[in-house]
Structure 1
Amino acid sequence: MVTSDERELVADLRGGDPAALATLFDRYGDRLYNHCFRHLGDWAEAEDATSSVFLEVWRHRRRVRLHNGSALPWLYGVATNVCRNAGRSRRRRQRALARLPHPASEADHAEAVTDRLGSEARMRAVLAQVEALPAHEREVLGLVAWAGLTYEQAAAALDVPVGTVRSRLSRARARLAQEVSDD
């Protein structure tokens, strides 16, 4: 539970105070960035998505909703929508690029790039199994299992009943367990 400080912060944001947006970013930017990475599996896309999340928050600042005194569930809802749109854009871009001839590429052997690519490859392997889930189950899994929201907070972020969150998460876990046992 968050103190009245968050209520005041949201009131300031709704009033158009850019410092309130900066405070929300400082408070929740890292969590939303990780949430975006878990959805997109790419650090650069996650950075872009996180920027888009806060642009959307500013554009829709009068719509911010608190859940148990916290704006975080609403922010996760915005982030989920931004990631969904980014994923669609990526798929369209990939289909367009697949129609072009492939240029020769050279590998970069820098250690930092290798580490980054390794983490992206691992995340993509996980996402390959997660992407087999229906979209509504992926969203619940991302919010509860990866972002650490409670069932109630996830329900608020997705604007669905708590029971729906529980059943979607249960089905997602069962499907993933079956995938792991099949592999």
Structure 2
Amino acid sequence: MSDPERAPARTDAETSTRARIRAGDREAFAALYDAYARAVYNHAYRLTGDWSTAEEVMADTFLDAWRTRERLEPDGGSLKPWLLGMATNKARNATRGLGRRLAFLARRPAPPPVADFADETAGRLDDARRLAAVRQVYGRLRRGEREVLALCVWSGLDYGQAAEALGVPVGTVRSRLSRARARLGRLTEERLREERAQNTSNRREPGRRRGEAEGEAAFAARPLKEIQEGSR
């Protein structure tokens, strides 16, 4: 992740792209789509947990980007925060009222390991097992926590870009990300402990052979008096 205290570098190419899109240049907008469609789609999927909904969010994002192109600032850096900010709002609307818990991470391939998170846990448990636990508890985070993780960790935005995308101060992004990482780590540890306890409880002695089981059942069914007389 780049230095969060430094504003993204502005290039003449980015400024030119912004100007062309503002002016309604379809070729420039097509190039924008080609460059960021996959990033917008992946971001939408992480926030909605549904492939078809993610496709709708992506389509609506670029449709709104074209419709509102004249509001785009003529100067600035990468257009990725602008698009992901719109996608975040679209994803909120798509999931509002559905009560969807983002359990999608348990149903999809593991995301690439995050360096700062993996380093903290290296050597304690197998990475694949820990990542599986992360996927299972990710949906239990608050919406704001999921959003900053999706933007800063998986989409690679720095604090400034994430703040631009969410329309909040940089300090808010910092605090949310810190809380999200801490809570995700705690929930992950809890999940791993639950799995260890479950694995322990599932360890049972080998079952008896059929004849032995039937013999014991018949013995248990005999009247107490008969058992006592037979034991003399």
TM-score (norm. length: structure 2) = 0.60
Which residue in 1 is equivalent to 2:143?
135
Instruction: Tell me the equivalent position of 2:182.
Output: 174
- Per-residue CA deviation, residues 95-147 of structure 1 (Å, 9 max, x unaligned), is xxxxxxxxxxxxxxxxxxxxxxx987237x86663332222222111110111
In the other structure, the counterpart of 1:18 is 26
Aligned partners of 2:135 and 2:22: how far apart in 1?
Answer: 36
Q: What is the count of residue pairs matched by the alignment?
A: 158
Deviations 1:25-54 (A, max 9, x none): 011111111111111222222222111110
Cα distance, 1:164 vs. partner?
A: 1.2
**Contact 1:67 1:73 (C-alpha < 8 Å) held by counterparts:** no
Residue identity over aligned pairs, in percent, reads 48
Equivalent residue letter for 2:31: T
TM (norm. structure 1) is 0.75
Matching residue of 1:28: 36
- Distance in 2 of aligned mates of 1:67 and 1:167: 28
Give the 3 Å change call, closer, same or farther, for CA 54–127 of structure 1 in structure 2: farther
Deviation at 1:168, TM superposition (A): 0.4
Q: Quick check: 66-75 or 160-169, which moved more?
A: 66-75
Do the aligned residues in 1 keep the contact of 2:18 with 2:75 (CA within 8 Å)?
A: no
Change (3 A) 1:24 1:68: same
Q: Which of 8, 17, 34 in structure 1 is aligned with 2:16?
A: 8
Which one-letter code corresponds to 1:53 in the other structure?
A: T
Cα offset, 1:2, TM superposition: 5.4
Q: Which has the larger radius of gyration?
A: 2
Q: Partners in 2 of 1:168 and 1:149 — Cα distance? A: 14
Aligned CA distance change for structure 1 residues 153 and 8 (closer, same or farther; 3 Å): same
Q: 2:159 aligns with which of 151, 156, 159?
A: 151
Structure 2, unaligned runs of 5 or more: 1-8, 110-131, 192-232
Q: Can you give the 5+ residue segments of structure 1 that lack an aligned partner in the other structure?
A: 95-117
RMSD: 2.7
Shift of 1:3: 2.5
Larger mean CA deviation between 24-33 and 12-21 belongs to: 12-21
